[in-house]
């Protein structure tokens, strides 16, 4: 929880949103560990994972001999209060989506979120650059040797590769394009309910494959099956998600040529996404 001691900045930001009655419920990025992984990260189908929790943990029995009906009904959710609430939540969402004439997404939310991801990646590059520069000064000044215990010598650390200054302008331009396109579409879509049935069908056909424009057929470095350029499970974090993964993980792992490559590839899919939204704007406007 964001209010607990030692909470990270992401948890604190989420707590502020939850505490604001005017704010939307925050939705976290999907990583891996469930059936949605193939749909989102390989096929490019928009996905969501519903769940309730927070009142006690039962993860110690997960996928073990004890992970059965008896344990769940006695210890995890006695009376099936959460299970029933989850079923109602998912059922209502499915009915809402199945019976809508047009996609329900607010694309401005996505644009703002991707902009946040870009800010994080740029800050990551600056932090890693500072770390490498600081270590280089410590080595050149002989400070590691000075602090070394002669009875338990560790030697100097392996020098970190200097972090270059990346040209993020393709991504910055793509995100700004996405913001403009999303704003224009959300405004136009507010009156799209007055379109004819045929016009709505045409607009839906254009928007339904939107998520697939975020795929790159070459995938991520070393794991081409993961083709989504905005979301992926972390390569070394199990189920945890990485956003703008081609760029973010390349900087984290100091694969700087890959970082440059995936700045361009990620910008390309965002431009494609924004271009499709641009095409949808005129279709959403009532004559």
pLDDT tens by residue, the chain, 287 residues: 556 677 777 777 777 877 888 878 778 899 887 889 999 999 999 999 998 877 666 778 888 998 999 998 998 889 999 999 999 999 999 999 999 988 888 999 999 999 999 999 999 999 999 999 999 999 999 999 888 888 888 888 999 999 999 999 999 999 999 999 999 999 999 988 899 999 999 999 999 999 999 999 999 999 999 999 999 999 988 888 999 999 999 999 999 999 999 999 999 999 999 999 999 998 998 76
Domain with CATH 1.20.930.40 in the chain: 107-284
For position 181, what pLDDT does the model report? 97
For position 285, what pLDDT does the model report? 84
Query: Tokens 């400070």 — which residue?
Result: 143
Rounded-to-integer distance, Cα 200 and Cα 207, Å: 10
107-284: what CATH class? mainly alpha
For position 56, what pLDDT does the model report? 64
């Amino acid at each position: 929880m964001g209010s607990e001691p030692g909470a990270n900045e992401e948890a604190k930001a989420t707590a502020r949103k939850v505490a604001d009655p005017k704010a939307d419920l925050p939705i976290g990025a999907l990583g891996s560990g469930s059936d949605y992984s193939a749909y989102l990260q390989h096929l490019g189908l928009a996905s969501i994972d519903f769940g309730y929790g927070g009142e006690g943990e039962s993860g110690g029995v997960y996928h073990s001999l004890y992970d059965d009906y008896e344990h769940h009904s006695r210890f995890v959710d006695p009376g099936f209060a959460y299970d029933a609430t989850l079923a109602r939540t998912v059922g209502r969402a499915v009915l809402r989506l199945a019976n809508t004439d047009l996609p329900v997404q607010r694309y401005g939310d996505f644009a703002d979120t991707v902009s946040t991801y870009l800010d994080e990646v740029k800050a990551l590059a600056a932090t890693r650059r500072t770390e490498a520069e600081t270590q280089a000064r410590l080595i050149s000044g002989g400070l590691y040797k000075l602090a070394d215990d002669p009875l338990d010598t560790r030697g100097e650390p392996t020098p970190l590769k200097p972090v270059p200054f990346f040209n993020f302008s393709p991504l910055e331009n793509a995100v700004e394009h996405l913001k403009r396109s999303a704003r224009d579409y959300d405004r136009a879509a507010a009156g799209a309910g007055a379109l004819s049935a045929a016009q709505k069908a045409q607009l839906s056909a254009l928007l339904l494959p939107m998520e697939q424009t975020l795929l790159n057929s070459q995938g991520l470095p070393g794991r081409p099956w993961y083709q989504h350029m905005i979301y992926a499970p972390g390569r070394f974090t199990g189920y945890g998600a990485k956003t703008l993964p081609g760029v973010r993980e390349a900087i984290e792992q100091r694969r700087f040529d890959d970082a440059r490559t995936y700045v361009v590839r990620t910008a390309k899919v965002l431009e494609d996404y924004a271009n499709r939204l641009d095409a949808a704007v005129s279709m959403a406007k009532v004559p």
